[in-house]
Amino acid sequence: MVAVLMGVSGSGKTTLGKELAALLDWTFVEGDDFHPAANVEKMAAGTPLDDDDRRPWLRALGGLVAEACGRGEHVVLACSALKQDHRDRLERDATGCVRFVYLTASEELIRGRLEARDGHFMGPTLLGSQFDALEPPADAVRVDVAPAPGEVAADIRRRLAL
């Protein structure tokens, strides 16, 4: 199974993904590591990505998901997956193996997190574009990320029945 922790930047995908993977003894994969350098440069400059920019990134992640599912591996993947099309691409070749966990919080809480973090290419200036692009999933496990990471990871585990 691949558990995809999705949501806007600053929702805690990486922090919670690492916490959940450790709790389950699964592999953690940081989706941002698969962005082409041009995407990282674009976001660092404060320019939002468009779907053309995301296409090679999603193709790489979709391949990773399909390979993990094909080998029966258990993976926690941190990936924004903001649109339904993005989620469809991730599970295209791994139907039935992927579970999406939608990380939610107020825009105010997420903006505060983005403003407090250092050294990440995605700054608070792009948060509005993330919310604009977001198509909340109808079929994902929806989790409030305001509590402490350990609490949220335990809640995800319980709600995924793992």
Question: Domains of the chain, with CATH numbers?
Answer: 2-159 (3.40.50.300)
pLDDT in tens, 91-139: 999 989 999 999 998 888 888 877 776 655 555 566 667 788 889 999 9
Packing angle, helices 149-159 and 13-24, rounded to 10:
60
Alpha helices in the chain (DSSP H): 13-24, 37-44, 51-70, 84-91, 107-116, 127-133, 149-159
Can you state the percent helix, strand and coil of the chain, rounding each to 5?
50, 15, 35
Q: Which of 56-65, 67-76, 131-140 has the lowest mean pLDDT?
A: 131-140
**From its phi and psi, is residue 160 left (phi > 0), alpha (psi between -120 and 50) or beta?**
alpha
Q: What is the mean pLDDT of residues 2-24?
A: 94
**Residue 90 exposed, middle or buried by CB count within 10 Å (0-12, 13-18, 19+):** buried
At residue 123, the pLDDT reads 58
Instruction: State pTM to two decimals.
Output: 0.88
